[in-house]
Chains A and B, each alone.
Chain A
């Protein structure tokens, strides 16, 4: 009497019914962070918007496939793609060798560059903020600019987005002189920059430009040269799982087409007020 009962109970407890949803006829799911406007942001209604979202919709229209956008925190976005939470990442993600070990990238759908900002009250010598430094091809002039950044920012607390290329660059080039603070989202980094908890930040130029124009952002200024190349890679691409080769080919074709007919340039001007469509467009 005792044993059948115990067995029944145990059997029942191990029959854990996982409420899962199987993959069927589902629309293509594209993930974006939704916290780095103008690349991608979230409006008061919880809707995602930005360059990534517009380009994504445009590409889906060209491929003729139904798409839906989902928000995903940055630091888990690649693992989540790999395990299949969604199919594509379009979140201002730069194409890098390191990321290519885990996922596949489309051809770039945007260029873009990065820059430091610092709090005004520190009164730091910003140097030439229009100078362009490509970390892949560093000459004497570039080296001097980097040295200037290094000596000026020594001992300062600099915020970056966790798991971003800016974090990698900061660690690589300036890790020995600055204190690195890694944030879950750029929005939170901006809050702390405004509050004075960090002295500065390193991230995408356009993200900063929009922020500096707001009242909260008026306490900060650009600092040092415009940075690109190196660990930032050749540009921003859409990320996909490595075995999704058919999808990748469709995306590449659509991006090429959208770049050639000027759609990307138009969207870029809409969101960034300047043309950062990839060079293949011209």
Chain B
């Protein structure tokens, strides 16, 4: 049991790296996409929806295998500059996770953006703010705050989802666990230890998100504040499962 803790802990670094980088890349990609989704003309919005719909409607395992084994089958891909990145299992997993996370985050932020009261943007315009300034200083910060609980679910989902990297030869926590099971033939203890490590990671994340929610809240102390309920607007309700 102690052995398992020691060995599996060595995979925590890779799990966290994969999770953090995918979340960052996914977030950066999703911000412009969410604005397009929420405010651009229907044709553009639908194009973004097409992307988010496919990535949210299929299992991430299929996406990973499609990008990892599927793309490498195409001669043109192997000849292109992208092969430098796609050749490496780490970057390939990172790319899949980022695209998946961006799809979920886009819809989450889109809902946040659409729940920002119109009066606020009108007030900003009346104060003489340009459109980009309004977006940056008014719309986005409010939308982000509204989206935070749902985005917290996405963060936890990504920590758990990174376990799929074990299927493409990467040795993160689950990869280490499967490797160790195959060497010791003692699956029960090892997977319990793996589960416990993930649980501690996700629990810390949940606490951190709750703390952030409290800090960013403007409606008074956490217990008493009324959570802003985003009205079901044009955007798809998130397909991610709710997490603590």
Contact = CB atoms under 8 A, between A and B. Distances in A.
B191 to A, nearest CB: 10
Contacts of B78: 195-196
Interface in A148-162: 159, 162
B185 A197 contact: no
Interface residues of B, number: 17
B73 A79 contact: no
A76 B72 CA distance: 27
A188 B179 contact: no
Given A191-B69, A197-B89, A163 B182 contact: yes
B91 to A, nearest CB: 11
B169 A181 contact: yes
With a 10 A CB-CB cut-off, give which of B72, B89, B169, B178 has the most chain A CB atoms: B169
A184 interface: yes
A195 B72 contact: yes
A188 B181 CA distance: 20
Contacts of B73: 191, 195
A79 B69 contact: no
Interface residues of A, number: 19
B187 A188 contact: no
A98 to B, nearest CB: 8
Contacts of A87: none
A163 B187 contact: no
Interface string A158-192: 01001100000000000000000111100010011
Contacts of B72: 191-192, 195-197
Interface in A73-96: 75-76, 78-79, 82
B181 A76 contact: yes
With a 10 A CB-CB cut-off, give which of A75, A78, A195 has the most chain B CB atoms: A195
A102 B185 contact: yes
Interface of B: 69, 72-73, 78, 87-89, 167, 169, 178-179, 181-183, 185-187
Interface of A: 75-76, 78-79, 82, 102, 159, 162-163, 181-184, 188, 191-192, 195-197
Given A79-B185, A163-B179, 13 more contacts: A75-B178, A78-B182, A79-B181, A159-B169, A162-B182, A181-B89, A182-B179, A183-B169, A188-B69, A191-B69, A191-B73, A192-B72, A197-B88
In the A-B complex, the 4 residue pairs with the closest CB atoms: A163-B182, A195-B72, A75-B182, A102-B185
20 contacts: A76-B187, A78-B182, A79-B186, A102-B185, A163-B182, A163-B183, A181-B89, A181-B169, A182-B169, A184-B167, A188-B69, A191-B72, A192-B72, A195-B69, A195-B87, A196-B72, A196-B87, A197-B72, A197-B87, A197-B89
